[in-house]
Amino acid sequence: MMHTNDQKLFYGDNGVGIVLIHGVTSGCAQMIPLARMLNDYGYSVHCVNIAGHGTYPQELLRTSWEDTIDKAWYDYDQMKAHYDKVYVGGMSMGGALGLALAARREDVDGVISVSTPMAMDPDCFVMAEYPEGQLYFHRDMAGKQGTARAYHIHYEDIAIRVFGELRNLMGYLNQEGVLEKVHCPTFIAQALDDQMADPSSGKQIFDRISSENKFLYEAQTAGHNMPMNEGRFGLIQSLVPWLDKMDGILK
């Protein structure tokens, strides 16, 4: 079964909300495996789309990195209207948006940052040089299997300009004084075999944020798509105890 990138809310019963945001070029279905696991522990989890994603490829031709922060801001406010405590974050660009939000807003209750890049692997498609005038990069779904086939759903023709907007977002987080404004509890997960985000990114984030309650989980072999592949089991085994320490509500 292949899912769609329709935003999905999993209702929990512990009174705490989580906004999960996917990675660049993908869609909110990418976060469903992790969302379901968190929901099993009582959390209400909303899998949302980054601005310009989950609709038509042409949307990315006119979506800026500031638009993506605005959309994350809106999604966080929607959850805060229903839950007293809300965490925000996600995978890769989604984690970066959670950190950007926490740097700009003092009311963010917590951040979950997974595979968030402070720099990208120079050989990955995001950093490639494309011919001048080329609008789209083709990345088909052929060959995907298992959870990737079911949940890693993306535009097959991806507007190249979105890669520049991701780099702009990383540039913002890398500015002196930005991550230092993050004071809320923050969970950071980074795979040391990540072939998209620089594997040192997690440690950089951990060292720079000002949070008193922060935790760095480093996995030896989980890849960039940790929340969606087999690495999610190790991730959840570290994330849930950390959340319980913050909330004290799990049984």
Q: List, for residues 164-191, the tens digit of each pLDDT value.
A: 999 999 999 999 999 999 999 999 999 9
pLDDT of residue 1: 46
- Mean pLDDT check: name the lowest of 29-33, 47-51, 116-120, 139-143: 139-143
Angle, alpha carbons 113-69-34 (nearest 5°) = 35
Rounded average pLDDT over 14-35: 93
The pLDDT of 122-144, averaged and rounded, is 85
Q: Please report the pLDDT score of residue 172 as a whole number.
A: 98
Q: Is 136 left (phi over 0), alpha (psi -120 to 50) or beta?
A: beta
In angstroms, the first-to-last Cα distance of the chain is 32
The residue-averaged pLDDT of 12-27 equals 94
Q: Is the pLDDT of residue 153 over 70?
A: no
Which domains does the chain show, CATH number per domain?
A: 8-245 (3.40.50.1820)
Strand pairing partners for 87? 18, 110
Secondary structure of residue 124 in the 3-state scheme: coil
Mean pLDDT of 69-74: 97
Residues making up the chain, counted from first to last: 251
Report which of residues 11 and 53 the model is more confident about. Answer: 11
- Cα–Cα distances (Å) from 106 to 36, 173, 176, 208, 221, in that order, read 28, 16, 18, 17, 34
This prediction has a pTM of 0.93
Task: Answer whether residue 90 shows pLDDT above 90.
Answer: yes
pLDDT of residue 155: 72
